[in-house]
């Protein structure tokens, strides 16, 4: 959940904790078990709350600690759980630790962060790029040294080599756990261990800075740090942990989530949401090939079949809207949204539903760059304009990949500002809210919302969805994504037409003699399953097969 855009209770245009409480019955009706709350801690909001200035206080815009404690109680009263965002790769530069750290080279807090002297020519200690454009180093006049920031210059990286830093983090985690939270989603947690030498990266042609990811993703002490975190902060509590891990591989994910290693319960990985990026990175748009998506999702299904656990998602607060990116947000918006949900929810792993996904919210296209709020988007725009790239060309990339696509306010109804606020929203509402909103979805028994409820119910009823082995069918087909899940004598058959054509699905001969029961479909069809069938645009079917 992204609180800033969820629901505003007091008319200041910013979503808040009391606003979340107002919508808990809606979330309960949807059928979710766990709410993951993006950061609500005290923050100057350079990166929308992911720059934390006080880990043990609530951002004024979101409410008070009393409000938060009320939220936790109301979540638990409804039989749901609350997972907090843990952002400990970096803090805000306004955190008390960093304020002290920059005062002098011998300050007790100096070693809480990663400081380095300039090179002889005064330049940065290495050539690493920030994820938000430009150098990953910021010069500080007060002591004449640079500090590392893998993200915004207002997000200095913590020095996890310092055992005192680690103990501070574990103390903070225990403080929240003692309040009764049910776990942590750990932001870029595989970045916390850096190669001690901080070597230069390889600069690509035409770039000013290099990716340093080889020296901080899955770094040399990452397993040690995660195991220590469990030992000192997590092991005494019945909680869930999920690690956001850019660049993680299936082999790494097995290690991170293997119970015997005592590190994480599951991972967030990003390979499938990078398949429509060209060699130039995120903003370099390329057409997604379905065979690439099938190969990638299947790779993860197979790799974590016996050991490990994966997160299932196609959008979140950092990714554009699923139905716009992977489906058809025009004529087939509802049908393609249901198809994509079917594809994900029947796989092995834990499905994550991002606010508004459950009724088919879409990407937004603001013509004016000043209507955008995301620091990554604004920095990229500025950098590209300085390079001479036309406004229109940059905006096309933003329309497809910008993070603000996911951050426009939740569209609750067709009234002013989509019912999100009685004031002026912090970011403009998507203009299509009059047609696409939660109220309309709740009142339509055939809506995406009620389809999600059915999918969630199937996961709860059918053990094969949770535990069954995965097998991809028709691997080379460019239109159909089909697979089976098998547990003992039960087989789940999932058939998804990814586009608006009419491809043919052929039932494998090994399944011909099975009894076939239709569990769910997004189309008007009978219960029958022939050995060969022609699919309709964006059609999805799930059958339970038994001998």
Does the annotation mark 469 as catalytic? no
User: What is the model's pLDDT at position 527?
Assistant: 74
Q: Please, what's the largest Cα pairwise distance for the chain? A: 77
Q: What is the DSSP string of 372-398?
A: ---HHHHHHHHHHHHTT--HHHHHHHH
Does the annotation mark 187 as catalytic? yes
What is the 8-class DSSP label of residue 485? E
pTM assigned to the model: 0.94
Tens digit of pLDDT per residue, the chain (547 long)? 999 999 999 999 999 999 999 999 999 999 999 999 999 999 999 988 999 999 999 999 999 999 999 999 999 999 999 999 999 999 999 999 999 999 999 999 999 999 999 999 999 999 999 999 899 999 999 999 999 999 999 999 999 999 999 999 999 999 999 999 999 999 999 999 999 999 999 998 888 999 999 999 999 999 999 999 999 999 999 999 999 999 999 999 999 999 999 999 999 999 999 999 998 889 999 999 999 999 999 999 999 999 999 999 999 999 999 999 999 999 999 999 999 999 999 999 999 999 999 999 999 999 999 999 999 999 999 999 999 999 999 999 999 999 999 999 999 999 999 999 999 999 999 999 999 999 999 999 999 999 999 999 999 999 999 999 999 999 999 999 999 999 999 999 999 999 999 999 999 999 998 999 999 999 988 777 889 999 999 999 999 999 8
User: What is the model's pLDDT at position 529?
Assistant: 86
Helix (H, G, I), strand (E, B) or coil at 533: strand
User: What is the model's pLDDT at position 218?
Assistant: 96
- Please state the φ and ψ torsions of residue 387, each to the nearest 5 degrees: -85, -5
Report the interhelical angle of 391-401 vs 375-386 (nearest 10°).
Answer: 160
- Please state the φ and ψ torsions of residue 178, each to the nearest 5 degrees: -65, -20
Q: What is the DSSP string of 114-173?
A: -EEPPPTTS--SS-BBPTTSSBSEEEETTTTEEEE-SS-TTSPBB-TTSHHHHHHHHHHH
Pairing of strands 504-506, 480-487: unpaired
User: What is the model's pLDDT at position 142?
Assistant: 96
Cα 542–chain centre separation: 26
User: What is the model's pLDDT at position 184?
Assistant: 98
Q: Which residue reads 């100057």 in tokens? A: 44
Give the separation between CA 122 and CA 120, rounded to whole angstroms: 5
Q: Which of 16, 93, 244, 334 is the catalytic position?
A: 244
Condensed to tens digits (0 to 9), the pLDDT of residues 362-380 reads 999 999 999 999 999 999 9
Q: Which of 46, 51, 187, 357 is the catalytic position?
A: 187
Q: What is the DSSP string of 412-444?
A: -SSSGGGGS-SS--SSPPPGGGGTS-HHHHHT-
Give the separation between CA 92 and CA 155, rounded to whole angstroms: 5
User: What is the model's pLDDT at position 462?
Assistant: 97
Which residues, other chains included, contact 205 with Cβ-Cβ below 8 Å and sequence gap of 6+? none
């Amino acid at each position: 959940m992204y609180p800033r855009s969820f629901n505003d209770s007091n008319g200041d245009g910013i979503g808040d904790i009391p606003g979340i409480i107002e919508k808990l019955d809606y979330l309960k009706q949807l059928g979710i078990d766990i709410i993951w709350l993006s950061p609500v801690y005290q923050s100057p909001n350079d990166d929308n709350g992911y720059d934390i200035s006080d880990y043990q206080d609530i951002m004024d815009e979101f409410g008070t600690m009393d409000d938060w404690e009320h939220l936790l109680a109301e979540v638990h009263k409804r039989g749901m759980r609350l997972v907090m965002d843990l952002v400990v790769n970096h803090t805000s530069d306004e955190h008390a630790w960093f304020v002290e750290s920059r005062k002098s080279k011998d300050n007790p807090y100096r070693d809480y962060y990663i400081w380095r002297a300039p090179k002889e020519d005064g330049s940065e200690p290495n050539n690493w790029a920030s994820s938000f454009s430009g150098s990953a180093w910021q010069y500080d006049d007060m002591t004449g040294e640079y500090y590392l920031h893998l993200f915004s210059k207002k997000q200095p990286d913590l020095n996890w080599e310092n055992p005192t830093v680690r103990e501070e983090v574990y103390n903070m985690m225990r403080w929240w756990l003692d309040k009764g939270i049910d776990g942590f989603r750990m932001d870029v947690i595989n970045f916390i261990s850096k190669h001690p030498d901080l070597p230069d990266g390889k600069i690509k042609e035409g770039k000013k800075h290099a990716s340093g990811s080889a020296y901080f993703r899955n770094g040399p002490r990452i397993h040690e740090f995660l195991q220590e975190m469990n030992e000192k902060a997590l092991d005494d509590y019945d909680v869930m942990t999920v690690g956001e891990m850019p660049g993680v591989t299936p082999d790494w994910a097995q290690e991170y989530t293997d119970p015997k290693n005592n590190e994480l319960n599951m991972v967030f990985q990003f390979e499938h949401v990078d398949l429509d990026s060209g060699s130039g990175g995120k903003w370099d748009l390329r057409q997604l090939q379905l065979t690439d998506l099938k190969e990638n999702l299947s790779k993860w299904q197979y790799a974590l079949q016996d050991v490990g656990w994966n997160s299932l998602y196609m959008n979140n607060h950092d990714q554009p809207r699923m139905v716009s990116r992977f489906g058809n947000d025009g004529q087939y918006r509802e049908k393609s949204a249901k198809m994509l949900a079917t594809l994900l929810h029947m796989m092995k792993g834990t499905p994550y539903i991002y606010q508004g996904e459950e009724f088919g919210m879409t990407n937004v296209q603001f013509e004016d760059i000043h209507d955008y709020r995301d620091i990554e988007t604004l920095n990229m725009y500025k950098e590209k304009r300085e390079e001479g790239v036309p406004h229109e060309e940059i905006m096309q990339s933003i329309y497809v990949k910008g993070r603000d696509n996911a951050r426009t306010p939740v569209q609750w109804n067709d009234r002013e500002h989509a019912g999100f606020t009685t004031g002026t929203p912090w970011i403009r509402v998507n203009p299509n809210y009059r047609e696409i909103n939660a109220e309309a979805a709740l009142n339509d028994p055939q809506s995406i919302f009620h389809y999600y409820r059915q999918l969630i119910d199937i996961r709860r009823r059918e053990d094969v969805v949770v535990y069954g082995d995965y097998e991809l069918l028709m691997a080379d087909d460019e239109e159909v994504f089909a697979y089976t899940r098998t547990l003992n004598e039960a087989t789940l058959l999932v058939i998804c037409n990814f586009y608006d054509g009419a491809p043919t699905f052929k039932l494998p001969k090994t399944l011909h003699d099975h009894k076939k029961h239709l569990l769910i479909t997004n189309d008007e069809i009978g219960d029958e399953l022939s050995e060969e069938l022609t699919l309709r645009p964006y059609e999805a079917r799930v059958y339970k097969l038994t001998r």
